[in-house]
Amino acid sequence: MLTNFDLTEEQLTIRDTVRRFAREKIAPIAAQLDESQEFPKQTIKELGEMGIFGIGFPEDQGGSGGDALSYILAVEELSRVDGSHGITLAAHCSLGVWPIYAFGTPAQKAKYMPPICSGEYLSSFGLTEPEAGSDAGGTRTTAVLDGDTWVLNGSKQFITNATYAGVLVVTARTDRTAKGSHGISAFLVETNAPGFRLGKKENKLGLRASDTRELIFEDCRIPKDALLGERDRGFPIFMQTLDGGRISIAALALGIGQAALDAAVPYALERRQFGQPIAEFEMIQTYLADMHTELTAARHLTYHAARLKDAKRRHTAESAMAKYFAATVAMRATCLAIQIHGGYGYTKDYPVERYFRDAKLCEIGEGTSEIQRIVIARELLKSFSR
What does the CA dihedral 101, 134, 130, 123 come to, rounded to 10 degrees? Answer: -20
Closest CA to 72 of 214, 243, 222, 250: 250
Side-chain-side CA neighbours of 7 within 13 Å: the count stands at 24
Cα first-last separation, the chain: 42
Report which DSSP code applies to 229: S
Distance of alpha carbon 212 from alpha carbon 247, whole angstroms: 20
379 noted as active-site residue: no
Closest CA to 267 of 351, 354, 327: 351
Distance of alpha carbon 254 from alpha carbon 118, whole angstroms: 26
Catalytic hit among 270, 282, 366, 379: 366
Distance of CA 260 to CAs 28, 81, 255, 343, Å? 17, 10, 9, 16
Side-chain-side CA neighbours of 193 within 13 Å: the count stands at 28
Rg of the chain over all Cα atoms, to the nearest angstrom: 21
Side-chain-side CA neighbours of 195 within 13 Å: the count stands at 16
Cite the active site residues. Answer: 366
